[in-house]
Structure 1
């Protein structure tokens, strides 16, 4: 460390400490006995200061070596409570880390050399302590105390165990000088992709991002929109979102939509809001398979759903899954209802003729293709074939009923199972809300309303219970969001309101956990073109294969990946996923040293020299990848490589969550979180039907339904602030 060397070697003994010891002794001698060095008192004091200064410099150099060797084995603890998470109006905080450069690749390469193993691998005492813990696990008292001592997690314990994060600490310990790493908010509109296998910190990173998004305000004091899709239902994530919304004063704009708990969930009509009527058919038929022979049935299903949706709009009814299922199963009723509506406006006397035609019908004069239809439907068809009335909706319904009923049922056979799944049980109340029911305290929301209110939305899709329903609902929500984004892009979020401006934009932070389970063809345009409307997607998944398996097309999977500008790579187990990061990095030159020794015999038998020997240290350069896929596979939990800001590689570790009691957590929401944990993570008593919090009255927390709230519900209304929380 005294001078710059061609090859940096930090894994070595801290020889600077010898110089420090000599400087300390010389300084003491200059102060205590300057006469022994032929110095007077004043000169001795000056010499002591000089020795002390030089010793301090060498001690600092020794500290760098010792700190480097310590970090290679064990990183210092990095914890942070949610209150301590920094929130900036310009940047998104990620954690501590450093910009990866050539020197870090060189240092990492050195750690794999055999002559440096004693500085990298655990000490002999550490290995002995772990072996004793295994053997003395069930030992009696005198020996069990020894196990408690070796497992004591304090810095004074020389053999304390490593934190349970696995991986190689050296991947981050090669840089002792960390800095706070953050991402400019302007880069988030390019979308971010987080890849990592299970239980390595994806949810912790999501909590870190969501916490900042909920608490962030722009210079005008306005909050941002936060929408979180959680397919499996993470109770801790739900709790964190509510706590942060409460701290930010946004609990009145906090919405919970959960398919697993319909009793306390908000309601949402996935096909109730649209820019064009054809979007309704696209959102429903888009869930059907389009591969092979299924493509034709998918197009037929799209056409009939579109016919039904157009008729409902003309009748003044808002489409939903229940109405569409009802009329797809029985198209005759909709045909008659719309015909009554149409003839009431255009030809009120037409029904007299239709009734006469209906009276003349019998089993012998009904056309073969109309067998099985109601006689009034047959009479309507005969009347319309005789008169020249043109109405596109009526003609569409007429073409549907002219199909043979058996053939029609076969055509829509692939559509009916999907509609049955979306309209069965209590889920139907969530996806097909009754807008006229004023006694239902569960609010109804749509994405434009959420964006205008700057709300926080948690969407739990309960994918562990029913994957297909979760995927269908999530896909419909994405499709609806794409439609809203197109409207915002053209007209702004305040379109139709007084003083609206087409330039109004607000950041819409969309966090999609396990997004491979939700994505479809609707997800691609959202990340491809949604940035113009302010949508900022952060997607979380395990591997690239998950995306490809979901879409079923490698080219489309590459299209999805290509739209993410920021990549956060945690520990993965698939080499192809790790290569998504490593293949985008350049190769770098690292120094390698080679010791060459040789001896040469003398050919002069009469000379005084029998042989000559030499030893050389040769320094050479070799080209290696900046990081290997194996380094990504060996990352500890809570650490990641980040490729952001134009391809810069950062090595980052996220802060571990510190103890932070959530005193603002309401009792009812805490009860829900407990049930979610039990439902999704524990299987010890799977045979017992625990039900939901609202079904077990004896387990309801006190004050869940207070007198004021009960009174409001009895009057047909509800207190807005408490009902907006969906947990009162």
Structure 2
């Protein structure tokens, strides 16, 4: 029967159907010919009802067996439109599945036994049809028509092919009773890690989560902040975000930042907003190598960027990559500009003395360490040595110009390549925006503005064209976001606004695809301290080795992974990655049966018994892991194991997307998405930095740019000039 027992065997013939047939025949006899069973007509009706009730019970048991055997080979199709995705204020919808327990491990172990092979493997007719399709592919007409008939994906086709998802359907088919699987929103502050190899459903899961985050409202009717980092540029993900933002009435709060499409991208200054001035130097120098001998040069670079940033702020200028690059190359100009600013406030007559000192300078009396500097710089330095004024910014600039020019260029040499990457071509217009150019319709945003507006941001880093620039910009954005999170944690979102409260926090949903390419030292505090500011990070990557290779430190990689409380494990190809899940699970006892028979000859030659025989079933138990790494490797596409809510293991499958008739995008975004698809490269290869010819700097058509400007021109206006402190 299908009821659970200590030893449950569901892979067997549905013998209950025999009972159902007998009950049906008996009920028919009771109704049509009760006299044949020595019953009166009234008793015949009662007996028929009894037989039908018992037959219905046995039919239910038989259908359970048949459904179980069907699911082992082929799961029912699970499709959902984007409009049909449930959005809750309390829980995050993941898909359909079941909580994995000991009985599921027992059922899975049974599928590997040879006596049950015919219930698990495709039937002979199915295998014959597949071989026929292979042989008829290049056959002359009309034979290929037969192959198309056998490959017809319809329930009416007895040789219907299996869905192209690979893996082992039995992993999900062992539980015929699925339920909707959800995650309490309170658990998301603990952050989520999604692991899976290429093309197994990570992006579909991301779309599912992002769709709900964009459409969710709290009790006060306010939306949540959604920030998506997409290094390689997924056109379908961009389309999904725009469609959902428009469906939720948030297209006016939708920002696109894309390094590969600077003409229609929003602009962002990664070092323009800060809580402490030293953050500017940390965000830039943090991109430099700190291993071995490079550590000293990194510290020098940090110091000089910090000196430049402090001087710029004192001069009333907002730091950006272009300004910092300009003054790293020529620190003399900044020194003279700041000296003029300082003397105009403190000692207006100083310039008369400086001009006289400058007139007396020549190659013979020039200080040796100042050779190659402008005479005005040397004159200012000599004047400051005489009057001995104290100003921390001016003293920092003095220490920079007192270095030998050749030596100074050497110690900042490691900084210049990074700044070149961030200020070359049209990328400079995005990362160093001109705040005073009111004719540029491209909006300028910063993270505090995004959070206050409850906006939706798509960050396309175009890593296919230039992985190094993508990583540098992504790291800078993460650093900026960590700084903003720290400010929110201390003062709240509305700090500085009327009626502001330090307790004001909003959920900030950060989705980082291929996040291993964006990792840096700033990501550690982001995951282990950002939850207090409302950050809810969902990170997507392929293997644990990707994280370790990027960080370069096994302990620090473990530190990052240890801060993710929710784990979604899709199919992976690395055993050590699968063991991140399986080693956290307990072992369970499963039952096994063994048929034993024997015969014993009689030792009495005169007795009536020649031998005795016995047959018995022996039941034993064995301890096995709840799931093995091989089961994670064998997952079909679109399915995952999830360790959520304090270590509860769930087996989940995500719904396949179904098109909605109203999913429309503006023509400019459609063309951009189409180009992204044409130039897409498998995620497993994109770090090879395969440039896309003509994509990075190729101008877009004027009508295309005008159309996009009409779309985003009203989203926000450029901020006013001047430095802005968090």
Q: Secondary structure at the match of 1:429?
A: helix
What's the secondary structure of 1:141's corresponding residue?
Answer: coil
Q: Indicate the residue corresponding to 1:695 in structure 2.
A: 700
Match of 2:714 among 706, 717, 720: 720
Contact 1:243 1:665 in 2 (8 A): yes
Q: How many residues align?
A: 712
In 2, Cα distance between the equivalents of 1:142 and 1:702?
51
Residue equivalent to 2:376? 376
Aligned to 1:603: 603
CA distance in structure 1 between the partners assigned to 2:372 and 2:715 by the alignment: 53
Q: What is the rounded CA distance, in whole Å, between the counterparts of 1:527 and 1:625 in structure 2?
A: 30
Is residue 443–residue 713 contact of structure 2 (8 Å, CA) maintained in 1? no
How much has 1:679 moved relative to structure 2? 2.2
Indicate conservation of the 8 Å contact 2:260/2:695, yes or no. Answer: no
RMSD (Å) for aligned C-alpha atoms: 1.8
Which residue does the alignment assign to 2:707?
704
Check whether the contact 1:94–1:654 (CA below 8 A) recurs between aligned residues: yes
Gaps of 5+ in 1: 711-717
Deviations 1:327-359 (A, max 9, x none): 011000000000000000000011111111111
CA distance, structure 2, for counterparts of residue 503 and residue 44 of structure 1: 76
Q: How does 1:221-300 map to 2 (within 5 A)?
A: 221-300=221-300
1:242 CA displacement: 0.1
Instruction: Please state if 1:165 is matched with 2:170.
Output: no
Matches within 5 A, 1:438-517: 438-517=438-517
Deviation by residue 1:265-307 (Cα, 9 ceiling, x = unmatched): 0000000000000000000000000000000000000000000
1:141 is displaced (CA, Å) by: 2.5
CA contact 2:216–2:224 (8 Å) conserved in 1: yes
Q: Shift of residue 114 of structure 1?
A: 0.5
Structure 1 residue 2: deviation in Å?
7.1
TM-score by length of structure 2 reads 0.96
Are 1:582 and 2:576 counterparts? Answer: no
Distance 1:32 1:499, change over 3 A: same
Tell me the equivalent position of 2:10.
Answer: 10
| Paired residue secondary structure (1:704) | helix
Residue 713 of structure 1 aligns with which residue? Answer: none
Match runs of 1:561-640 below 5 Å: 561-640=561-640
Are the structure 2 counterparts of residues 2 and 116 from structure 1 closer, same or farther at C-alpha, using a change threshold of 3 Å? Answer: closer
Report the 3-state secondary structure (helix = DSSP H, G, I; strand = E; otherwise coil) of the residue aligned with 1:680: coil
SS, match of residue 377 in structure 2: helix
1:196 to partner: Cα distance: 0.1
CA distance in 1, matches of 2:691, 2:3: 67
- What CA distance in whole angstroms lies between the structure 1 residues aligned with 2:717 and 2:240? 19
Contact 1:92–1:185, Cα closer than 8 Å, also in 2: yes
Q: Which runs of 5 or more residues in structure 2 are unaligned?
A: 719-726
Determine the structure 1 residue equivalent to 2:27.
27
Note the 1:79-90 alignment, pairs <5 A: 79-90=79-90
- Pair 1:199 & 2:199 matched: yes
Shift of 1:4: 5.3
Report the Cα offset of residue 704 of structure 1: 2.7
Q: Deviations over 1:175-209 (max 9, x none)?
A: 00000000000000000000000000000000000
The Cα of 1:145 is off from its aligned counterpart by 1.9
Shift in Å, 1:694? 5.2
Instruction: Describe the superposition over 1:639-694 as per-residue Cα deviations: whole angstroms up to 9, x where unpaired.
Output: 000000000000000000112234431111111111111122499x9997477885
Q: Which secondary structure state, in structure 2, belongs to the residue aligned with residue 197 of structure 1?
A: coil
CA distance in 1 between counterparts of 2:46 and 2:269 reads 83
Q: Which residue does the alignment assign to 1:58?
A: 58
Q: Alpha-carbon deviations, 1:419-472, whole Å to 9, x = none? A: 000000000000000000000000000000000000000000001111111111
CA gap of 1:461–1:160, structure 2 versus 1, over 3 A, is same
Question: Residues of 1 paired with 2:625 and 2:3: CA distance?
Answer: 29
Task: Give, in whole Å, the separation in 2 of the partners of 1:560 and 1:686.
Answer: 31
C-alpha distance in 1 between matches for 2:612 and 2:117: 33
Question: 2:3, 2:167 → 1: CA distance?
Answer: 34
- Is the Cα–Cα contact under 8 Å of residues 246 and 664 in structure 1 kept in the other structure? no
Instruction: Map 1:16-165 onto structure 2 (within 5 A).
Output: 16-165=16-165
The superposition leaves residues 133-191 of structure 1 with CA deviations (integer Å, 9 ceiling, x where unpaired) of 00000122232221111001011111110010000000000000000000000000000
Q: Does the Cα contact within 8 Å between 1:195 and 1:570 map onto a contact in 2?
A: yes
For residues 373 and 359 of structure 1, the distance between their equivalents in structure 2, rounded to whole angstroms, comes to: 15
Q: Is the 8 A contact 1:68 1:175 kept in 2?
A: yes
Q: C-alpha distance in 2, partners of 1:238/1:202?
A: 15
Give the whole-Å Cα distance in 2 for the aligned partners of 1:410 and 1:285: 16
Q: Deviations over 1:56-107 (max 9, x none)?
A: 0000000000000000000000000100000000000000000000000000
Secondary structure of residue in 1 paired with 2:257: strand
| Structure 1 match to 2:425 | 425
Shift in alpha-carbon separation, 1:705–1:154, aligned structure 2, 3 A: closer
Shift of 1:502: 1.0
Note if contact 1:593-1:618 (Cα within 8 Å) is conserved in structure 2.
Answer: yes
Distance 1:145 1:563 in 2: 56
TM-superposed deviation, 1:605: 1.1
Structure 1 residue 615: Cα displacement: 1.1
Distance 1:116 1:255 in 2: 55
Go from structure 1 to structure 2 and tell me whether the alpha carbon gap of 1:679 and 1:563 turns closer, same or farther (over 3 Å shift): same
Q: Is the 8 A contact 2:215 2:248 kept in 1?
A: yes
1:318 aligns with 2:318: yes
| Equivalent in the alignment of 2:721 | none
Distance 1:2 1:318, change over 3 A: closer
1:671 and 1:693 in contact (8 A); partners too: no
Contact 1:268 1:430 in 2 (8 A): yes
CA contact (8 A) 2:2 2:65 kept: no
> Do the aligned partners of 2:461 and 2:470 also contact (CA within 8 Å) in 1?
yes
Give the 3-state SS of the residue equivalent to 2:596 in structure 1. Answer: strand
SS in 1 for 2:274: coil
Structure 2: distance between partners of 1:608 and 1:262: 100
* Per-residue deviation, 1:705: 7.3
- The 1:646/1:525 distance shift into structure 2, 3 A limit, reads same
CA distance in 2, matches of 1:690, 1:563: 38
Mapped to 1, the partners of 2:692 and 2:288 lie a distance apart of 34
1:608, distance to aligned residue in structure 2 (A) = 1.5
Residue in structure 1 matched with residue 722 of structure 2 by the alignment: none
SS of the residue corresponding to residue 273 of structure 2 reads coil
The 8 Å contact of residues 20 and 59 in structure 1, kept in 2 or not, is answered as yes
SS in 2 for 1:720: coil
Aligned partners of 2:444 and 2:714: how far apart in 1?
Answer: 12
Counterpart position of 1:354: 354
More displaced, 657-666 or 329-338? 657-666
* Alpha carbons of structure 1 residues 694 and 170: separation in structure 2 relative to 1, 3 Å: same
Taking the aligned partners of 1:627 and 1:206, their CA distance within structure 2 comes to 25
Q: Secondary structure at the match of 1:536?
A: strand
Partner secondary structure for residue 134 of structure 1: helix
